[in-house]
Structures are given as structure tokens and as C-alpha cells.
Amino acid sequence: MDQSMAIQETLAEGEYCIIAVQGVLCEGDSRQSRLLGLVRHRPKRGGQEHALFLYTHRRMAITGDDVSLDQIVPVSRDFTLEEVSLDGELYVLGSDVTVQLDTAELSLVFQLPFGSHTRTFLQEVARACPGFDPATPDPEFLWLSRYRCTGPEPEPPTPLCWNAPPGTGPRCAGIGGGVSDFDDSRSDKRGLPVDPSSWGQDTPDNLLPRQNKSKCEITDMVRSSTIMVSDKAHILSMQKFGLRDTIVKSRLVQKEEDYTYIQNFRFFVGTYNVNGQSPKEGLRPWLSHGTPAPDVYCVGFQELDLSKEAFFFHDTPKEEEWFKAVSEGLHPDAKYAKVKLIRLVGIMLLLYVKQEHAAHVSEVEAETVGTGIMGRMGNKGGVAIRFQFHNTSICVVNSHLAAHTEEYERRNQDYKDICSRMQFCQIDPGLPPLTISKHDVILWLGDLNYRIEELDVETVKNLIEEKDFQTLYGYDQLKTQMAAKSVFEGFIEGELTFQPTYKYDTGSDDWDTSEKCRAPAWCDRVLWKGKNITQLSYQSHMALKTSDHKPVSSVFDIGVKVVNEERYRKTLEEIVRSLDKMENANIPSVSLSKREFCFQNVKYMQLQVQSFTIRNGQVPCQFEFINKPDEKSYCKQWLNANPSRGFLLPDSAIEIELELFVNKTTATKLNSGEDKIEDILVLHLDRGKDYFLSVSGNYLPSCFGSPIHTLCYMREPILDLPLETIRELTLMPLQTEDDGVQLENPLGIPKELWMMVDYLYQNAIQQEDLFQQPGLRSEFEHIRDCLDTGMIETLSASNHSVAEALLLFLESLPEPVICYSTYHNCLECSGNYIASKQVISTLPTFHQNVFNYLMAFLRELLKKSAKNHLDENILASIFGSLLLRNPAGHQKLDMAEKKKAQEFIHLFLCNSP
């Protein structure tokens, strides 16, 4: 585990633990566990100083309560930390790394765990060393005077200097020379006695004594990187250790059954759409009633917060409220550690394990995917946590898919988007990310929003009254879509023996009596995929009435691969011995099924994929696509090879997919002809030769990615123009129009923009959730083709798809509507309408026209707010980040800038010109 957060809790404000690693202090025959943390401080005089903090700790340091500061070693000019080999020590693949720490006053030896995390730690320490530049002032380390080091028990105080060997002083000593006894009543419960006299009245809040938590056993375990014996088969792919160790890793995976056995662990999986409510009742009837204490809890929420602030700024107090409610509702017969919390707007997932299992949880990663408008907004989407439990990889996904009965295709698309875009970093940064499907066990929970179709409301309620759930299930959309293999292929769901979980009147068990009178549906589901999984229960919990949904739970026994350490060592030794017999002189050789790839008629945001097979010969080999001379990447931005590197055992094969996708980043240069669908890929074999792959094709220019002024000079559809004309107009400088150079008959605004806005004005001015609900990808492709060919009369798409296409068009502009040059002026006058109008008046004419046209359209929408439920804040938030973009590397707006951009647009929505 990355235990830096435990260390961070012990630090004063302004100090930061960059990275931590758990190691063993070696003194003669003695071996003592220590937690090493690299801590950074930024003095007021400038620059930065570092020190290595050494802690004694519990077996797994989860919070600051679990560590006690034993020693501080300033990273001064005479500080070194180097990898060494002890006398008589033989190198064993996968063994610990031995390092020696030296300063003028002391020398210490540590063993650190094999793997990428230790390498990163050593690199960070090397970067922290101050160097030997005489012009750089020596670090003073005055900030260290506030810390006190403690030993295991209070004894008569003796002064302890900075660099005394750790563990030799079982007392508290001031680094600045002062000494005080350990006084538990004045301790902050982390082993750091608080002596206010050492820093006056400005005691940092995080060093003051804390009140005991109401549930102190709820502890926080953050991102994990701990390397344990059971993980070695998964971390031996480190690039630094070369081909030999990659072969070992692959052979270990192949022989996994030789050194692992299956042990069942109980998993509780729960999902609850809370409809934006705060907890009003205890959660034990859902989380822990009538069941033995689970080993693992996976608890998901949807609609945690429905406020606009949560939607646009991702801030919500509800996270802490529901986290506390869950922590208090866990089974009372066990103590649990919180492994991870991840949230995307209102979608939250919590993972807990029994404390005795914490040491066997590793490689924890969490990611989010928004599938809302423009594929990013987090009102819909998914969050996921993946982790290694013993030797089994597990991925837990919590999703909230698109609403409304008729939107099942949108739900299917949301699911596919989450699967394709949810990617987790691996320990070896050189390896491709893991996707959801690359796990032994997948648990998928959430408000999937599939409804019951073809039956009227009364028929549905009658079937529920008769408890004829089997007949009702026949009309369930999720069942139908899974049977058609349109969604959740390979997943299993248990039998539905409980009544639908949506929609109820809040605070009751009565079906929806609102004006819309929603038909009941099983919106809230739990599915699974993998081996050795037995579902023990699947039920709803009618006792909870906080929301218009009922919570759902499923309990599983999951067979997890547990490592037998003795068998593991024997297997590892056998593999290493067999490798010693290999002939290193053999040169690897592969055959490729295809070397030339032609992508025809590539379109904006429309993925094309071609594949080929690499078949290996008789020698194990490692392959990788490598950069060509003077190039930063192995391929152009619009291309990707998946996987881009890998390992092949003798006589094995792998399929490589070449994915071509043009987006806003690459479209403009392809439109102008500055770039072409042409590339050469170099496939390199370690210790072998290089293979060259040719990629070619043609791109169909699009209005997406074209500048505003270019489109204004295109009176014909872009696909009707000669490529040379498109090239000249795309490369035309922005200010041409203001330099007295007038091309013939320009349009006031791009015709494509007018087509989309006019369509929305005619068809969608009263559309509920406009610009907030996403459209379908297939419809976007149809809209793009209509705009690029000028065949607007053939346009047939939902209002939401056209609205999203408009936003994607604005996002794709290489120069935003409000030009980069005026960005900072806009933020400065965001509270002044007169000054804001003055800034807009300085824009090039075409950009002024587009801005005024869009504001007029949005004001028309606001006139129908009673029907479409839009308001100035929603529109200002959506359009602010599209019309105003940070010119510094085209970065996303930070929170303060985002709010100022919103205020700027808000002025024009509330004031007529």
C-alpha cells in the first residue's frame, strides 16, 4: 500500500509526504520494520528542503494513529542513499532491494521490497538531494524543530541528535535540542507529543489533539503499491529488469495453479439510488441485517447530490454524510478498513475489507468515466475500483446509466463507453492500462435504469401484487438486451424474487403518485462475471424509505486464489533453473500476418480498427513499438497500437489492433493538409530485428475542427470543395477579414452552426434537459455527415443528439468563439457587463457574430424555462468552458477560472444587448 497518507496525517501544515515505502532496518542480525517517508518543506525564503522520516508502525499503516516517529534524517549535502549488495548475498530474482543510507553522522542499511514502487521511491529521493552547487544556500532544516521522536516506551529522557540510530532512544527528544517526556495526555495519539512552547501560538490545526472518532476502527487505506510474496507474479514485468524477468513473470502466471489454492471469502455488494437525500435512517437493515460479517463490502450510491453545484463543480457535503452512514452501518461483529472511496458527481463507490485482510489487498486503483453530455459530464457514467486480493484480480463497477423507458439504446451505449474508457494504470508504467474485462472477477452494481416495457402501469402493478415476478421479468429491458447480446455479454444476474425497486413515493412503500406516475421497474441491479462465484442472496430492502428507490444487496462467496509461499518459492526456483539452461545466443524472430494498412474515408470522431497477428518462433521475445528518430511517440496522435508492447512465449501469438481516431486535437491539420493519414510504425524485438509497418489512408474534411472564419468563407458544403480550396481557407490567418482583405461573399456565421441552432429552435425550444442529456453516437455521425454534405433536409435525429453535436462543434474549434487573446480580459471583467461587452467588441467580426448569435438563441431558450427547466446558471456553466478556453497549453479551466467564465456568460444571458 502507498502509506504516505498515514505519514501525511502526522505532518504540519505546508509539509508534504511525497512518497512512502515500507522496509526493514538491518542492524547485525536484527531486523526491524520501518516506514520511510520522503517529506518536502518549502521555506519562506524560497526553494525546498527534504528529510527522510522513519516511523515504527503497525503491520499496515493505515492512518496516523498507526505510526510513531522514530527518526528524522535531513536530506543534506552529505546525504546518500544507494543500492548495495551485502557481503555473501546472492542476487535472487524478485528478492528485496538492499540500500545503504549514509550521512556524516550515521550509516543505516534497509531492505526494501522488490518492484516499481521502490524504484520510484529511490528516484524521488535522488531528486530531493540538494547537489553541490556552491551558489545554492545550504538547507537550514529549521522546520524540523517542531517534531519529536518517540521510542516504544517512556524512559528517563536523554538528548537524541538528528542522526542517532533509530530505536536507540526510547524517549522524546527535540530535534532542536529540547527534551520532553512522552505524555499521552498531550499526545495527538500518533506518537508525536505536542509541545506548544516549541512553536508558540501558531500551532497547525492538524497537530492539535483530535477527538476520538465515533468509529475508530474505520480506517483509511489509500492507493496500494505494496509488493508482497503473492504479488510477485504480477510485478516482475518491470522494464528495468529486462527480458529474463519478463519470462519468469509469464511462466509464473502459467504455473499459477502449482502454488495457489482456492479459498472462499464472503463479499457484500450493495447499490442504492438515494435521490439527492441525506441519510435519515440507519443503514444496518441493508448492510448487516441477518447475515454473517462479510470479508469485503462493495457499497455503491447514485444520485448522491442532485444540486447544480455538484453537477458542475463536483463538490458535495453528501459524500461525507453517506460515508459516515455506511461506516456506522457495517456489521458490528467485525472491524473494517476502508480501502478506497471514489466519486463522480453523484455516483460513489466504497470498498471496505476486514482489517485482518488488509495486508492481502494490493494494487488498488480507482477511475471514473462520465457518459453524460459530450461523453464527459458526470451526471451519468460509472466509477470503478480494481484491486488484487491475494492472487485474484477484482474489479468493482458502480454505474448510473441513462434514464427514461425509451432510452435503452443510450443505456447500452453508456455501458459500452464505460467498458472501453475505464482504464487502470499498472505497476509497470510501460505496460498498457488494464480494462474492466482484464480481471478475474467483475462485480457490476448500480442504477442501470432498464425498465419494463410493453405493459401498462396497472398491469405491472397487478403482476407485482400477485408476486408473479417471473412473468414480469419477461418484459424487463435488461433481460431482453442481454439475451440479444447487446449489453453485459458474459455477465450473470441472479433470479429476481423481490418486487421492483423504483419508483416509490419518498418516505413510503407506495408506488409513484406524482403527475408522471412512473411504472415500477427493476432499475437497481447487481451482476457478476468470473469463476468460483456463488450468489448466496439477492434482495431489496423495503425497510429503508429515504429515497424513491429501494436499496438492493447481493451476498457472494467468491473463491480467491491464495498463495502457498513454500510452493511459490519452489516454482520460482524451478523456473529460474530452467532459464539458466537456455541458450542466450538464440535470436528471436517473429512473423507478421500483415504489414500494410490502408484506412479509407476516415471521418471525424469515427473509430476505424484494423488488426494483425504477431506469431513467435522458438525463442521467447519481448516486442515494442519504438519511436522513430527525432519523434516523441511511436505513432501519430490519431493512431494507437493496442497493445503497444508485450511478451511472447515460444510458438505463441498475439493480435494487435491499430486504432485510428481523429478528434479535435488532430482534425484541423488533417483538414488543412498539414498532416495526412500516413505513418510508419517500427516494431522492435528485444535482441532481435525491427519490422516496419506502413499506414496510409484518406481523411474526409469536416466542419468539425475547422476555424470559424474558414467556414464563413465556405459557401458550399466542405465535402463539395476541392482539397486545395479547403487547405487555403483553413490556413488563412484569423485576422484577414480585418486587414482589408475581403474574399467574395462571406457568410455572417458558419452555415453549419446556423443549421444546428435553427433545428433546435424549431424542434427543441421546450425540450426538457436540453444540453444536459447526451445523444446517441450513431446519430452524431449522421448529423456530422449532413453538415459536411449540406444535406440538412435529410437530418433525422433526437433533439439531444443535435444539442450535443452543437457542443462538440464549439469544442472542436481550433480558436474558440472568444479568442485566446481576450481570455484573461474576460475573466477580469466577469462581474461588469459594460466592460464585458467592450471585450466582445474587440473580437474579429465573425467571432463577434457567432457569440451574439449563440447568446440570442440561449436567451430564447430561457424564455421557455417553465417547460425546458433550463436556467441561466445551467447554460452559463455548460457554455462557459466551451466559449472561454485557457490559452496556456489549452488546459482545462481550474475551479476559480471556471466560475469566472460562468459569470462572464451569465452576464449576457441576463442582459439584452
End-to-end C-alpha distance for the chain, whole angstroms? 58
What is the structure's pLDDT at 490? 96
What is the structure's pLDDT at 586? 73
What is the structure's pLDDT at 135? 63
Burial category of 121 from C-beta neighbours within 10 Å (exposed 0-12, middle 13-18, buried 19 and up): buried
* Cα(364)–Cα(837) distance, integer angstroms: 50
Is 90 exceeded by the pLDDT of residue 907? yes
Find the range with the poorest average confidence among 333-337, 408-412, 738-742.
Answer: 738-742
Task: Tell me if 701 sits within 8 A of 671, measured CB to CB.
Answer: yes
What is the structure's pLDDT at 173? 26
Is 50 exceeded by the pLDDT of residue 663? yes
What is the structure's pLDDT at 786? 96
Q: Do domains 251-563 and 751-910 have the same CATH topology?
A: no
**Domain 251-563, CATH among 3.60.10.10, 3.40.50.880, 1.10.3470.10, 3.30.750.24:** 3.60.10.10
Taking Cα atoms as reference points, which of 755, 668, 753, 743 lies closest to residue 713? 743
DSSP secondary structure letters along 484-551:
TTSSSTT-B-----S---B-B-TTSSPBP-SSS-PPPB--EEEEEEESSEEEEEEEE-TT--SSSB--
Burial category of 734 from C-beta neighbours within 10 Å (exposed 0-12, middle 13-18, buried 19 and up): middle
Find the range with the poorest average confidence among 373-377, 435-439, 689-693.
Answer: 373-377
User: Ranked by mean pLDDT, which of 220-224, 688-692, 739-743 comes out on top?
Assistant: 688-692
**Greater confidence, 821 or 30?**
821
Is 50 exceeded by the pLDDT of residue 227? no
Read off the pLDDT of residues 376-403 as tens digits, 9 standing for 90 and up.
666 789 999 999 999 999 999 999 999 9
Local structure of residue 362 (DSSP, 8 states):
E
Read off the pLDDT of residues 45-81 as tens digits, 9 standing for 90 and up.
788 899 999 998 765 566 777 788 999 999 998 898 8
SS3 181: coil
Find the range with the poorest average confidence among 429-443, 520-534, 727-741, 898-912.
Answer: 727-741
Local structure of residue 89 (DSSP, 8 states):
P
SS3 442: strand
**Greater confidence, 166 or 346?**
346
**Greater confidence, 515 or 685?**
685
* Cα(352)–Cα(220) distance, integer angstroms: 9
- 788-814 mean pLDDT: 93
Is 50 exceeded by the pLDDT of residue 158? no
What is the structure's pLDDT at 225? 27
pLDDT band at 234 (very low <50, low <70, confident <90, very high): very low
Boundaries of every domain in the chain: 4-220, 251-563, 590-699, 751-910
Is 70 exceeded by the pLDDT of residue 94? no
pLDDT band at 223 (very low <50, low <70, confident <90, very high): very low
Average model confidence (pLDDT) for the chain?
83
Edge-to-edge strands, sheet with 639-642: 590-592, 608-616, 653-660, 639-642
% of the chain surpassing 90 pLDDT: 57
Please list the residues that pair with 117 across neighbouring strands.
Answer: none
- 575-600 mean pLDDT: 82
Local structure of residue 63 (DSSP, 8 states):
S
> How many CB atoms lie under 10 A from the CB of residue 643?
15
All three cell numbers of 441, joined, read: 472477477
pLDDT band at 130 (very low <50, low <70, confident <90, very high): confident
Taking Cα atoms as reference points, which of 39, 52, 45, 37 lies closest to residue 13? 39
Find the range with the poorest average confidence among 396-410, 656-670, 729-743, 855-869.
Answer: 729-743
**Greater confidence, 877 or 85?**
877
What is the structure's pLDDT at 159? 30
Taking Cα atoms as reference points, which of 341, 333, 338 lies closest to residue 300? 341
Query: Which overall architecture, per CATH, does domain 590-699 show?
Result: Sandwich (2.60)
- 3-9 mean pLDDT: 82
pLDDT band at 97 (very low <50, low <70, confident <90, very high): confident
pLDDT band at 748 (very low <50, low <70, confident <90, very high): very high
Taking Cα atoms as reference points, which of 381, 374, 388, 391 lies closest to residue 422? 381
Task: Tell me if 124 sits within 8 A of 148, measured CB to CB.
Answer: no
CA dihedral 215, 217, 218, 224 (to 10 degrees): 170
Taking Cα atoms as reference points, which of 421, 404, 412, 408 lies closest to residue 487? 412
**Domain 751-910, CATH among 2.40.110.10, 1.10.555.10, 1.10.3720.10, 1.10.510.10:** 1.10.555.10
* Cα(729)–Cα(496) distance, integer angstroms: 61
Of all residues in the chain, what percent are helix, strand and coil, respectively (each to 5)?
A: 30, 25, 40
Is 70 exceeded by the pLDDT of residue 806? yes
What is the structure's pLDDT at 432? 80
pLDDT band at 200 (very low <50, low <70, confident <90, very high): very low
Task: Tell me if 756 sits within 8 A of 852, measured CB to CB.
Answer: no
Taking Cα atoms as reference points, which of 823, 844, 847, 835 lies closest to residue 908? 835
Taking Cα atoms as reference points, which of 671, 653, 518 lies closest to residue 590? 653
Tell me how far CA of residue 50 lies from CA of 38, 165, 213, 273, 733, in angstroms: 7, 19, 32, 46, 50
Half-sphere exposure in the Cβ direction for 874 (13 Å, CA): 20
Edge-to-edge strands, sheet with 690-699: 596-602, 690-699, 678-685, 621-626, 645-648
What is the structure's pLDDT at 429? 66
Strands 219-220 and 533-540: unpaired
Tell me how far CA of residue 560 lies from CA of 390, 394, 507, 572, 865, in angstroms: 7, 10, 40, 21, 54
Give the global pTM. Answer: 0.67
pLDDT band at 561 (very low <50, low <70, confident <90, very high): very high
Read off the pLDDT of residues 750-787 as tens digits, 9 standing for 90 and up.
999 999 999 999 999 999 889 988 888 899 999 999 99
- 452-457 mean pLDDT: 94
Tell me how far CA of residue 398 lies from CA of 300, 346, 402, in angstroms: 6, 11, 14
% of the chain surpassing 70 pLDDT: 82
Chain position carrying cell 447514485: 302
Q: 697 φ, ψ to 5°? A: 160, -170
Find the range with the poorest average confidence among 74-88, 609-623, 872-886.
Answer: 74-88
What is the structure's pLDDT at 172? 29
pLDDT band at 735 (very low <50, low <70, confident <90, very high): low
What is the structure's pLDDT at 170? 29
Taking CB atoms within 8 Å and a gap of at least 24, the contacts of 132-136 are: 132/77, 136/47
What is the structure's pLDDT at 174? 26
* Cα(229)–Cα(652) distance, integer angstroms: 28
Query: Which overall architecture, per CATH, does domain 4-220 show?
Result: Roll (2.30)
Taking Cα atoms as reference points, which of 544, 587, 606 lies closest to residue 277? 544
Task: Tell me if 529 sits within 8 A of 491, measured CB to CB.
Answer: yes
- 535-547 mean pLDDT: 96
